[in-house]
Structure 1
Amino acid sequence: MVDFDVVTLPDTDHVDVGDTAPDFTRPLVNEEFWEDASLSDLTDEGPVLLVFYTMDGAFPATYVWNEIRDRGWGRNGEGDLTVVGLSISDPYAHKQLIEERGMDYRLFSDPQNGVAEEYGIVHDLDGMAGVSEPRPAVFLLDEDRTVEYAWVAQEWPDFPDYDEVESAVENL
């Protein structure tokens, strides 16, 4: 039995295929520490799969990162793809998620949700005035930050078609 309501999200004018993804600088967290980094720092090194997800600890975050981890995307220097996440959770929560999930990925921390605003994917949380998070979204970016693939949730909860994302990565 499902103990939550599926909610249809309003249409959004989000960053899409062919657009240049907005650059940003936020704390980037790994298993040991965090430091300010920009998206362009990552794309300068090669293609990036930018994964927006709900706050750490929410079940959708667990599902998304377990799937990405299990598929081994961009892990241990395999290929030239960098997989990086972004949510409103603070660096301490990110370090905990990385440890608990056994993740080999870095996560941007954006507590004010400004990056989601720039990408057109803000999701206002019901019953929490002034609190928002990014709606789940995946953007595959080339070295120039051109969006090669985009998926944005149309309902909550919603998850990307992982086979479709994998195919886009392989065709990059």
Structure 2
Amino acid sequence: MPEFDVVELGPTDHPEPGAEAPDFTRPLVSDEFWEDRTLSELVGETDGTTVLVFTPMTGSFVAKYVWDELADRDWDERADRVVGITASTPYGVKRFLEDNDYPFRFFTDPGNDVAESYGIAHDLDGMTGVSEPRVAFFALDADRTVEGAWVATDWPDFPDYDDLESELGLA
């Protein structure tokens, strides 16, 4: 078991339920290809809920743990749409999808600008100018209104997935 310290991340300024989630355009990567897409286009493709899941870079144990859990819980079948967003490049996400056979798509945000706009970016210890998103979940309706949210307060931090599923309407 690797040893690491739990780090308190401090307060956030993330979108709360009832607020409109910030829109963005980034490459959306699947197991087959990627293309620039806007969040508003993606959420507008369904009348249901889109769950936007922020995770650190795809090579991290934190990202692997979160996506393994969501795949094991069949979120791809229980939610109208689940899409990830990470600070990894499209190439890194493509490898992550190939290595793990996940049924999800991911927005890539190597500059971490989207996490900044959502108020959930944090600096990596000892790496000047390098940041990544906290683990965070946002349930969005077709107009990008936040219906539910969970944001990590520590690194690493994971939700109680049973409670999260209830809050996001997946139970």
TM-score by length of 2: 0.94
* Aligned equivalents of 1:2, 1:90: Cα separation in 2: 26
Give 5+ residue unaligned stretches, structure 2. Answer: none
2:4 paired residue number: 4
Contact residue 29 and residue 35 of structure 1 kept, 8 A: yes
* Aligned equivalents of 1:122, 1:171: Cα separation in 2: 26
Q: Alignment RMSD, CA only?
A: 1.5
Give 5+ residue unaligned stretches, structure 1. Answer: none
1:53 paired residue number: 55
The code of the aligned residue for 2:54 comes to F
Task: Say which of 47, 64, 67 aligns to 1:65.
Answer: 67
- The 3-state SS of whatever aligns with 1:86 is strand
The code of the aligned residue for 1:18 comes to G
CA gap 1:45/1:168 in 2 versus in 1, 3 angstroms: farther
What are the superposed Cα offsets for residues 103-141 of structure 1, whole Å, 9 maximum, x if unpaired? 010000000111011100011001100000011110000
Aligned identity (percent) is 57
1:97 paired residue number: 96
4+ residue runs of structure 1 moved beyond 4 angstroms? none
Equivalenced residues, count: 169
TM-score by length of 1: 0.93
Contact residue 138 and residue 160 of structure 1 kept, 8 A: no
- The 3-state SS of whatever aligns with 2:168 is helix
